[in-house]
Structure 1
């Protein structure tokens, strides 16, 4: 039968161990980066829990009691075992690639061009990348994390790191932009154009049009594509005007392959990095920080 004996509070044990090691409450507080009063309260809590004194005050110093020496030996051994187990688990996690899923358009047009920079700046953060057009289920389907452009609400089983607000806008090859500006330099020039669109984001054009004060029923939909990646390749090839998230076309804009005459408009969607709630992998918040920095460089 499993013992139901109550364990002493762990924070109080850590405070006690520090006092026993350093010989004073003040030095223990410095080592633990807390206040003198916090350490004193934890010691008092532990002594009340055990029903015995662990130190005796002699002059201005503390002398450990027989009960304190016994607890020190046992607790030091137990904490070292816990620290060793934590280090082993962290090494095992670090030795395994982080499995990250994202839509193919994000993978091809944003993640892959930045992998070399990620390796330089985070050399111990190895990723195994998986393309998926369908958002994973609440348990992430065995993935460590997923990178998405999406809108809340999120599943309760996810921890969600918000990275950046999505911005969308019309993009086109320079030759098409020149032809449009010769007719009408305002966004309303698009009302006369068949617009490239994608089945994965049917609301992208109407969302942008409403932000411009335009009637959505005046839009003319042209060639459709199954995925955003194909849509943007068609725009680069000069097949028409596409609607795209700013970050996914930033490299094309810098290289002059695409232009965005009317800029980009924020939407209610976000770039997010999602993991399972309670997932202890410390690489995930590090990756979220790196992604946030990269995404916000665009603005």
Structure 2
């Protein structure tokens, strides 16, 4: 009988997922706490083991190959579940630990900047964040205490609670509008469109009732955060969930040229695990989320009223 194929190294898969997430060997090395060379060797060994090329290399840039995209689609959620399971086991040693899984850009742009207010209230609670975008059904609720996702509507299968209003809105750097104003959706055809999912702009245009629009070009990124950074750098117009850019718009770093907040509304929801052993802490954190969400919604409404006074008065 032929020998079964050798098991692929978990470390190699972790290295691959880290590189694929940011398309950067250097960033992956920092995230994993190893050297640049170690990550490169893990990726080369994995490609040799699988007999495929996982990344297309263009000068100093990386892009996932077709095989790489297929592997990342399966490996990333699996590693996320493993990390969550490890955090859960570790969390048993500390009754004051909350394990929370959130989308990565939401963590960076909304949750982490506000966490200090919860920590001041409950300094004894240790927050352990894992990031991911897996659907609620793919992430066992027994693996975390709280899961946060942006959902179209409440799921009949999950008791997810909305706490933060969100819609996809176009944003760009102020200097971009000085060069080429955007007064209606049709004006977007003269701009580079930035987003993090294939067909996201075309879906948004369809919901906005805009047909036949052909932009100058499009840039698609792995994460919303990269599209936001590209917009801040003046590379084009990004399509971003509104709560993630409110602070930048209020500070004048980004502009929201169109009042089209009702085009694609999907609010952020939290799901409290029924299996959590820390129900009092979960309840406290969810109450805090609801309070912060209301404050954020109020500030967003005030900002929209300032930007678009005509729509506020009807």
Q: TM-score range by the shorter chain?
A: 0.5 to 0.7
CA shift, 1:286, in A, is 2.8
What is the rounded CA distance, in whole Å, between the counterparts of 1:132 and 1:270 in structure 2?
Answer: 17
TM-score normalised by length of structure 1: 0.60
The answer on whether the counterparts of 2:195 and 2:240 sit within 8 Å (CA) in structure 1 is no
The answer on whether the counterparts of 2:142 and 2:276 sit within 8 Å (CA) in structure 1 is no
Residue in 2 that maps onto 1:277: 274
CA shift, 1:150, in A, is 2.0
Q: Does 1:226 align with 2:230?
A: no
What is the rounded CA distance, in whole Å, between the counterparts of 2:104 and 2:180 in structure 1?
Answer: 31
1:3-152 alignment, distance < 5 Å: 95-135=95-135, 137=138, 139-140=140-141, 142-152=143-153
In terms of Rg, which structure is larger?
A: 1
The answer on whether the counterparts of 2:186 and 2:213 sit within 8 Å (CA) in structure 1 is no
Q: Does 1:208 align with 2:204?
A: yes
Q: Deviations over 1:258-286 (max 9, x none)?
A: 11011351334221001223646133233
Q: Deviations over 1:75-124 (max 9, x none)?
A: xxxxxxxxxxxxxxxxx998331100111101111111112222234445
> For the structure 1 residues 222 and 264, does the alpha-carbon distance in structure 2 shift closer, same or farther, using more than 3 Å as the test?
same
Residue in 1 that maps onto 2:175: 175
Residue in 2 that maps onto 1:190: 188
What is the rounded CA distance, in whole Å, between the counterparts of 1:170 and 1:292 in structure 2?
Answer: 26
> For the structure 1 residues 122 and 208, does the alpha-carbon distance in structure 2 shift closer, same or farther, using more than 3 Å as the test?
farther
> For the structure 1 residues 229 and 162, does the alpha-carbon distance in structure 2 shift closer, same or farther, using more than 3 Å as the test?
same
Q: Deviations over 1:107-152 (max 9, x none)?
A: 1111111122222344454311112233452523611111111234
What is the rounded CA distance, in whole Å, between the counterparts of 2:290 and 2:199 in structure 1?
Answer: 25
Q: Deviations over 1:159-211 (max 9, x none)?
A: 31221332221000110022222xx5323210222211212xx4542343234
Residue in 2 that maps onto 1:236: 232
Gaps of 5+ in 1: 1-91
The answer on whether the counterparts of 1:104 and 1:132 sit within 8 Å (CA) in structure 2 is yes
What is the rounded CA distance, in whole Å, between the counterparts of 1:233 and 1:219 in structure 2?
Answer: 23
How many residue pairs end up in the alignment? 202
CA shift, 1:289, in A, is 2.6
The answer on whether the counterparts of 2:142 and 2:275 sit within 8 Å (CA) in structure 1 is no
| Counterpart pick for 1:290 among 274, 288, 291 | 288
The answer on whether the counterparts of 1:159 and 1:278 sit within 8 Å (CA) in structure 2 is no
For residue 128 of structure 1, give the secondary structure of its aligned residue in structure 2: strand
CA shift, 1:244, in A, is 0.6
The answer on whether the counterparts of 2:169 and 2:261 sit within 8 Å (CA) in structure 1 is yes
**Comparing both structures, which one devotes a greater share of its residues to strand?**
1
What is the rounded CA distance, in whole Å, between the counterparts of 2:145 and 2:156 in structure 1?
Answer: 15
> For the structure 1 residues 124 and 206, does the alpha-carbon distance in structure 2 shift closer, same or farther, using more than 3 Å as the test?
farther
CA shift, 1:255, in A, is 1.9
> For the structure 1 residues 230 and 271, does the alpha-carbon distance in structure 2 shift closer, same or farther, using more than 3 Å as the test?
same
Residue in 1 that maps onto 2:165: 165
RMSD, matched Cα: 2.6
What is the rounded CA distance, in whole Å, between the counterparts of 1:188 and 1:172 in structure 2?
Answer: 16
